[in-house]
Amino acid sequence: MPVITNIDDLKRIHRRRVPKMFYDYCESGSWSEQTFRENTSDFDKIYLRQRVAIDMANRSTRTQLIGQDVAMPVALAPVGLTGMQSADGEIKAAKAAEKFGVPYCLSTMSICSIEDVAANTSKPFWMQVYTLKDDDYMQRLFARAKDAKCSAAVITVDLQLLGQRHKDLKNGLSAPPKFTVKSVANMATKVRWGLEMLQTKRHFFGNIVGHAHGVTDPRSLTTWTNESFDQSLNWDRIREFRRMWDGPLIIKGIIDPRDALEACNVGADAIVVSNHGGRQLDGALSSIRALEPIMDAVGDKIEVHLDSGIRSGQDVLKAVAMGAKGAWIGRAYIYGLGAMGEAGVTRALEVIHKELDMSMALCGHRDVNTVDRDILMVPKGFSGEWG
């Protein structure tokens, strides 16, 4: 195994080993990609305050997310098409998360199904759902998640329509993918990836095909996808989803304090401050800039997590110090998955954990639950005072 010291090491291997179509799907944002870039670069504007001559022994990064014990305040975010980054990718990622002791969230647009992941893991995982118009499908999706003993449902509310991602259009990346001569030729150069794909039967959207009414092949999937996303979504509709699911509920995709307050009112247990990794509204605030005004608005009414832009344990530490209960990683673990499968996801978690643990200690804390804004130096006007 190559020496991996940071997430960028995994990213470089990922780029070499995975077809361009799927690497670009991971590493892209919408339109000019301003928000995609600032999700990460805005973390660099926040400085850590180093302390010395403070006892650093017997440290702990253990905490809870929505009442569940976790090894560190991190969850693996839902990522569509994970099973195309590495064969059976969702299963590999879920197994790595389970062994490490952090939550894994399965995407509705996954290659492996809920049942596939449940059959290959022993602990509950979280299930992400989109706000679709098909009530029959939604009710059965929640029922399947319950049967699989999923410990939380995550409703993504920022995908009523799809942000334009130039790379995906140029690569023919859609649901299902439209393979071109160029993309197939590129796949032929990724020998390890191809051999692994030949050994699995899971190549399609396992949570949809055979479960959504009338979806039996690529053409019918395209039609269903185009028609199912609900552009008329409102908070009353989200209340209907709350009634379909009686377990812990997380609402993902909140970037404005007003929407955070609405999420409190529909009975959610937690919200995720997220701009969909910069893949929806380009020019929106980075998640880390949006976090503090949301914390000010909701106070202790609801648990707040942060997603989008996390590439290191220091990013996790900064998010927690700004008030988030935990941080979600997407691209950071996908790099590992594409690079080295399950072992790569584990390595990504190890890297982030070590960075979090050491940085926390150097800031004068032994317990992640005691970390607060005092460890940060944040530029004036970082989170607001817009004209």
Task: For the chain, 387 residues long, give each residue's pLDDT as a single digit of tens.
Answer: 789 999 999 999 999 999 999 999 999 999 999 999 999 999 999 999 999 999 999 999 999 999 999 999 999 999 999 999 999 999 999 999 999 999 999 999 999 999 999 999 999 999 999 999 999 999 999 999 999 999 999 999 999 888 999 998 888 887 667 778 888 899 999 999 999 999 999 998 999 998 998 888 767 877 887 788 899 999 999 999 999 999 999 999 999 999 999 999 999 999 999 999 999 999 999 999 999 999 999 999 999 999 999 999 999 999 999 999 999 999 999 999 999 999 999 999 999 999 999 999 999 999 999 999 999 999 999 987 776
From 14, 211, 276, 353, active-site residue: 276
Q: List, as one string, the DSSP characters of 264-294.
A: HHTT-SEEEE--GGGTSSTTPPPHHHHHHHH
305 is catalytic: no
Question: What are the CA-CA distances from residue 55 to residues 170, 356, 361, 363, 364 (Å)?
Answer: 54, 17, 9, 11, 8
Q: Is 332 exposed, middle or buried (0-12, 13-18, 19+ CB in 10 A)?
A: buried
Q: What's the predicted TM-score (pTM) here?
A: 0.96
User: To which residue do tokens 């990718």 refer?
Assistant: 89
